[in-house]
Amino acid sequence: MAEKQIAGKTIEVTDDGFMVKHEQWDREVAAAIAAEEGIELTDDHWKVLEFIDKDFKEKGAVPGIRRMNKVGGISTKELYTLFPDGPVKKAAKIAGYPKPASCV
């Protein structure tokens, strides 16, 4: 666990840069984390981030690809275009939520 300056704020993050306290998150923080990942946020990115936010508050977990497809209406191809490499992991990081994880 570490503290990091993001968008002029002191933010608690895990060793791999995921936010620990979602209440420290805002749109400027999101844009700064995205920039570190080489992503400039557009409306299409925000559609994904807002879905993750809404869904996490409802279900207590970051939605997986199938849920993004079926419930969020975002295709897998679109996800890979917007957030290359690990789309769920990257989008979760920018949305200020934990890394999708298993039990161990």
Partner 1 sequence: MSVFYEKSFWNLQNKMKDIVILGAGTAGTIMANRLRKSVDRRSWNIKIIDQNPVHYYQPGFLFMPFGIYSDRDVEKPKRRFIPRDVEYIESSVDRVNAEKSRVMLSNGVEVSYDILIIATGVRTVPDQVEGMMGTDWRNRIFDFYTVDGAAALQEKLKDWRGGRLVMHVSEMPIKCPVAPLEFVFLADSWLSERGLREKTELVYVTPLSGAFTKPIAAGVLGHLLEEKRIKVVNDFNIGNVDNERHRIVSWDDKVVDYDLLVTVPTNMGDAAIERSGLGDEFNFVPTDRHTLQSKQHENIFVIGDATDLPTSKAGSVAHFESEVLGENILSYIKNAPLREEFDGHANCFIESGHGKGFLLDFNYTLEPVPGSFPIPGIGPFGLLKETRINHFGKMAFKWIYWNMLLKGLPLPGITQRMSYAGKKIPVGLAVPESA
Minimum gap (Å) between residue 17 Cβ and partner 1: 12
Query: Partners of 2 in the beta sheet?
Result: 13
Active-site residue identified among 23, 57, 103, 104:
103
When the beta carbons of 8 and 70 are compared against partner 1, the nearer one is 70
Residue 46 token pair: 């925000």
Minimum gap (Å) between residue 56 Cβ and partner 1: 10
Q: Which residues make up the interface to partner 1 (CB under 8 A)?
A: 1, 14-16, 20, 59-61, 64-67, 69-71, 76-77, 80, 84-86, 89, 99-104
Concerning whether 103 is annotated as a catalytic residue, the answer is: yes
Catalytic residues: 103
